[in-house]
Amino acid sequence: MANEVILLDFWASPFGMRAKIALIEKGVEFDKREEDLSNKSPLLLKTNPVHKQIPVLIHNGKPICESLVIVQYIDETWGPESPLLPSDPYERAQAKFWADYVDKKMYSAGRSSLWLTGEAQEAAKKEYIEFLKVLEGELGDKAYFGGERFGYVDVSLIPLYTWFYVFETLGNYSMVEVCPKVVAWAKRCMQRESVAKSLPDQYKIYDYFLELKKKRQAQ
Amino acid sequence: MANEVILLDFWASPFGMRAKIALIEKGVEFDKREEDLSNKSPLLLKTNPVHKQIPVLIHNGKPICESLVIVQYIDETWGPESPLLPSDPYERAQAKFWADYVDKKMYSAGRSSLWLTGEAQEAAKKEYIEFLKVLEGELGDKAYFGGERFGYVDVSLIPLYTWFYVFETLGNYSMVEVCPKVVAWAKRCMQRESVAKSLPDQYKIYDYFLELKKKRQAQ
């Protein structure tokens, strides 16, 4: 059977980065297609008619949407010798719990802390820092969130590292003071080829954010 | 090994209902403990320190939190002869996509349509109806969301049926006009012992909602 793997992506999206990391971890060759989010391709609209968002993984013509669903699909489909999720149901549940936490808490508070203004922004920033501290506590002295091996929770969280410089610069705080263990963990993850290849430079993300902000303010 | 299963629950919570349905589907005996949400038990605070929310499933002393994570854990731990999630990775991904849709879209818009006021409430109501129509289209002429068998997406969505009367009464619309296939599907689900035993009466939920609203307004 042909094994055609296409990823509809956008370089600055943490969600797209999750899919790329998982594919590279599993040694899957894929055709990465960059989307223009202000002018989405017919293929994106056709393969993700519900959300119309990247990433979309298209495996032999069949689309899979939503980044964590994609990462789980990749884990179940390729490279059983290097699993991202643990095999034990209880440990799997814990990994899913923390990835869900990252999704529900970190991304929304992070976004609010960048885009809101005044008191609401300050509240979102405080919340974001609280969430980071919860993750700092959960990581503790482990090498990765799941223990000794890079896994599912790491894949879900590490793309946010590219946005750390934006957060600390605009929020006027220091990540390494708030969550030193998480920062050390992120640097450890960055030594992996899958992560290094999938994450853009923090300064590039910072420039991208400033430009995006200018555009929105001009609208 | 002892197989002690405790569920920390609250009768009107759709999330608690998901866990109950899955446990009954799998024939698991469990000790259901009703929580007073205004005075949470030490056991709840200890077993779900991050979110402090029900449901919590405690299996032989080990807690699992977040309703969809709990349903997946139940599916992986008991009754492999009656799976809730399909075994094929692509079909599994589709089921997870739709359960995620229900979680992210239906519950938040539903809540907003009940608790917001004025224009914001009207907008949330419209959004909620749009989401229902998307589900109506996805269900189509299938018996259940996954096809012929009651499964994961059904478990994730059916608890909302208990709130349908609240939505249509307060929103002044008719569910059966908006989404006749979803209503027929819900009635089909209600014929299952697992669902009938887990879902409270719609009128009881309506009274509960009115009382809750009065309390909040008095605060």
In terms of Cα–Cα distance, which of A29, A40, A27 is closest to A7?
Answer: A29
Query: Which residues from chain A sit within 8 angstroms of residue B100, using beta carbons?
Result: 66, 68-69
Q: Which domain holds residue B93?
A: 89-218
ipTM of this complex: 0.94
pLDDT in tens, B78-98: 999 999 999 999 999 999 999
Q: Which residue has better confidence, A118 or B42?
A: B42
Pair A9, A34: CB distance under 8 Å: yes
Please check the confidence at residue B1 and state whether its pLDDT lies above 70. Answer: no
Do the chains contact at A66 and B134, CB–CB below 8 Å?
no
Please check the confidence at residue A77 and state whether its pLDDT lies above 80. Answer: yes
Mean pLDDT computed over every residue of chain B: 95
Task: Tell me: do A68 and A165 sit in the same domain.
Answer: no
Selected residue of A26, A76, A107 to mutate for chain B interface (largest B Cβ count, 10 A): A76
Say what the pLDDT of residue B146 is.
Answer: 95
Angstrom distance (rounded) from CA B104 to CA B205:
22
Contacts of A51 (CB under 8 A, 6+ apart): A65, A66
Say what the pLDDT of residue A2 is.
Answer: 62
In this complex, the residue of B65, B69, B93 whose CB is nearest that of residue A69 is: B93
Please check the confidence at residue B2 and state whether its pLDDT lies above 80. Answer: no
> In chain B, which residue's Cα lies nearest the Cα of A70?
B93
Residue with tokens 């000794």: A148
**Mean pLDDT along residues A155-184:** 94
Angstrom distance (rounded) from CA B133 to CA A127:
35
* Peptide bond preceding A83 in cis form (omega within 30 of 0): no
Q: Which residues of A touch B (CB under 8 A)?
A: 50, 59, 62, 64-66, 68-70, 72-73, 76-77, 89-90, 92-94, 96-97, 100-101, 134
- Residue A114 inside a domain? The answer is yes
**Mean pLDDT along residues B36-52:** 97
Residue with tokens 């946005």: A163
Please check the confidence at residue A13 and state whether its pLDDT lies above 60. Answer: yes
Q: How far is CA A112 from the centre of its chain?
A: 17
Query: Which residues from chain A sit within 8 angstroms of residue B59, using beta carbons?
Result: 90
Task: Please report how many Cα atoms fall inside a 13 Å half-sphere around the Cα of residue A142, on the Cβ side.
Answer: 16
pLDDT in tens, B200-213: 999 999 999 999 99
Angstrom distance (rounded) from CA A48 to CA B96:
14
Q: What total number of domains does chain A contain?
A: 2
Q: Which residue has better confidence, B30 or A112?
A: B30
Task: Tell me: do A66 and A137 sit in the same domain.
Answer: no
Q: What is the CA radius of gyration of chain B?
A: 17
**Can you give the CATH number for the domain in which B102 is found?**
1.20.1050.10
Contacts of A13 (CB under 8 A, 6+ apart): A54, A55
B33 Cα to chain A: minimum distance (Å): 21
Between A106-115, A184-193, B53-62, the lowest mean confidence (pLDDT) is in A106-115
DSSP B118-173: HHHHHHHHHHHHHHHHHHHHHHTT-SBTTBSS--HHHHHHGGGGGGHHHHHHHHT-
Bridge partner list, B5: B59
**Can you give the CATH number for the domain in which A17 is found?**
3.40.30.10
Interchain CB contacts (distance < 8 Å): A and B: 56
Angstrom distance (rounded) from CA B145 to CA B91:
11
Task: Tell me: do B93 and B185 sit in the same domain.
Answer: yes
Task: Tell me: do B30 and B70 sit in the same domain.
Answer: yes
Do the chains contact at B90 and A50, CB–CB below 8 Å?
no
Per-residue pLDDT band for A74 (boundaries 50, 70, 90) equals very high
In terms of Cα–Cα distance, which of B142, B118, B112 is closest to B130?
Answer: B112
**Mean pLDDT along residues B154-159:** 98
Pick the last residue of a domain from B27, B50, B77.
B77
**Phi, psi (5° rounding) for residue A63?**
-85, 145
pLDDT in tens, B21-37: 999 999 999 999 999 99
B11 Cα to chain A: minimum distance (Å): 23
Task: Report the share of chain A in percent with pLDDT over 70.
Answer: 99
Query: Which residues from chain A sit within 8 angstroms of residue B76, using beta carbons?
Result: 89, 92
Mean pLDDT computed over every residue of chain A: 95
B191 Cα to chain A: minimum distance (Å): 30
Task: Tell me: do A105 and A191 sit in the same domain.
Answer: yes
Please check the confidence at residue A1 and state whether its pLDDT lies above 70. Answer: no
Pair B10, B37: CB distance under 8 Å: yes
Query: Which residues from chain A sit within 8 angstroms of residue B70, using beta carbons?
Result: 93
Task: Tell me: do B101 and B54 sit in the same domain.
Answer: no
